């Protein structure tokens, strides 16, 4: 199944691989998705939508087994503080539902901030824009397409 994210990569002639998996709506954790697509959780990146107090919404792209560091994201985004956008706002702002949020083909082009660990991999996995499908893509291609700013914005779960 071609998603908006896959069509965007096709239009830019970027190579990628789609991996599908069985969705459990009760468990959308990135660690679970990673196990289902056969990758370590630190290679499967989740896309979170945050809102800064000065600059508004932004995407934070972090490893599946990490937590967002709000202070570091705020510093990188030029905000004094950031918080995650409420679940009810995610779909209207991005066009995607929880478990399917991706920067690729999102409804609006918010600033993107990616954790520096994204550069450690030959390929990363991100949502393809629907639950049950992941896109594996080279980090350089992903960063170029999304115009992401790279920084330390996450830490391992405690």
Q: What is the dihedral of CA 133, 52, 87, 41, to 10 degrees?
A: 40
Q: How far apart are CA 91 and CA 101, in angstroms?
A: 8
Q: 92-98 — which CB contacts under 8 Å span 24+ positions?
A: 93/49, 93/57, 94/49, 95/4, 96/127, 96/129, 96/130, 97/131, 98/28
Whether 157 has a pLDDT exceeding 90, the answer reads no
List the CATH number of the domain containing 106.
3.90.960.10
The tens digit of pLDDT for each residue in 4-22 reads: 999 999 999 999 999 999 9
The tens digit of pLDDT for each residue in 55-86 reads: 999 999 999 999 999 999 999 999 999 999 99
Total structural domains in the chain?
A: 1
Domain of residue 116: give its range.
Answer: 4-156
Q: Contact 136/124 with Cβ under 8 angstroms? A: yes
Whether 1 has a pLDDT exceeding 90, the answer reads no
- Cβ atoms < 10 Å from Cβ of 120: 12
Per-residue model confidence (pLDDT) at position 115: 98
Whether 153 has a pLDDT exceeding 80, the answer reads yes
What integer is the mean pLDDT of 108-137? 96
Per-residue model confidence (pLDDT) at position 86: 94
Per-residue model confidence (pLDDT) at position 57: 97
Closest to 44 measured CA to CA, from 147, 132, 123, 151: 123
Mean pLDDT of the chain: 95
Whether 158 has a pLDDT exceeding 80, the answer reads no
Q: How far apart are CA 122 and CA 32, in angstroms?
A: 21
Length of the chain: 158
Q: How far apart are CA 57 and CA 64, in angstroms?
A: 21
Q: Contact 72/153 with Cβ under 8 angstroms? A: yes
pLDDT band at 29 (very low <50, low <70, confident <90, very high): confident
Q: Contact 61/47 with Cβ under 8 angstroms? A: yes
What integer is the mean pLDDT of 48-53? 96
């Amino acid at each position: 199944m071609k998603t908006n994210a896959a069509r965007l990569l096709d239009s830019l002639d970027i190579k990628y691989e789609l991996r599908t998996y069985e969705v459990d709506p009760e468990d959308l954790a990135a660690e679970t998705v990673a196990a289902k697509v056969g990758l370590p959780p630190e290679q499967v990146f989740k896309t979170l939508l945050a809102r800064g107090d000065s600059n508004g919404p932004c995407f934070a792209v972090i490893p599946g087994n990490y937590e967002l560091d709000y202070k570091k994201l705020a510093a990188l985004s030029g905000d004094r503080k950031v918080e995650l956008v409420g679940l009810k706002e995610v779909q209207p702002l991005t066009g995607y539902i929880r478990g399917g949020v991706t920067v690729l083909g999102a409804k609006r082009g918010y600033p993107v901030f990616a954790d520096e660990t994204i550069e450690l991999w030959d390929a990363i996995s991100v949502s393809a824009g629907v639950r049950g499908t992941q896109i594996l893509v080279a980090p350089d291609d992903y960063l170029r397409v999304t115009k992401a700013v790279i920084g330390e914005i996450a830490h391992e779960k405690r």
